[in-house]
Amino acid sequence: MANTPQSKKRARQNERREDINKARRSRIRTFVRKVEEAILTGNAETAAAALRAAQPELARGVTKGVLHKNTVSRKISRLAARVNALSA
């Protein structure tokens, strides 16, 4: 349990950031899920549009410190490869 005023304030800040980060992570997962669902339907145009919408969200997750840079890079690369395989 926090004892000093500073540690109490940090605990409050951590709770607030946890909620924000949880919402951001959920939003990112939703965008990625939309891409994967579009890939499963086999529609290349829809999948490409979903991927274009998901990329900035994933990049924002990196800048906000929710996800690691290499994790996002790997996710985008793998999704792009699957979308490109549809159109080929």
pLDDT digits (tens, 9 = 90+) for 16-45: 999 999 999 999 999 999 999 999 999 999
Q: For residue 50, what pLDDT is reported?
A: 97
Identify the structural domains of the chain with CATH numbers, from first to last.
Answer: 5-87 (1.20.58.110)
Task: Spell out the long-range contacts of 41-49 with Cβ–Cβ below 8 A and sequence spacing 24 or more.
Answer: 42/86, 43/86, 44/83, 44/86, 44/87, 47/82, 47/83, 47/86, 48/83, 48/87
pLDDT digits (tens, 9 = 90+) for 47-72: 999 999 999 999 999 999 999 999 99
pTM of the model: 0.87
Provide the greatest CA pair distance for the chain: 61
What is the pLDDT averaged over residues 1-10?
Answer: 91
